[in-house]
Amino acid sequence: DRLKLLATHGMASRTRIKALPPRSIYELTERGIALLPMIDTMRGTPGSVRETLASRRLYIRAYAAASSPSFDA
């Protein structure tokens, strides 16, 4: 399913092979190849990427909580 999604978005090309059982060969397109440096960077620092995303979520939650009206009387 992921390969089909990549092909749908132009990141990979799909070649169907007429055989039993039917097969498909997927290859990266120029657009897909252009993303490789970014993917390698993200792969090299998985912890820091997750930490950055988590800290942004916490910031958004804290901001939302601080800006919501207080109903304490």
For residue range 6-45, what is the model confidence (pLDDT) as tens digits? Answer: 899 999 999 999 989 888 889 888 998 888 888 777 776 6
pTM metric for this prediction: 0.51
Q: What is the pLDDT of residue 8?
A: 92
pLDDT at 73: 45
Calculate mean pLDDT across residues 58-71: 57
Contacts of 26 (CB under 8 A, 6+ apart): 3, 6, 7, 12, 13, 14, 15
| Predicted local distance difference test score (pLDDT) of residue 34 | 87
Structure tokens at 7: 């092909």
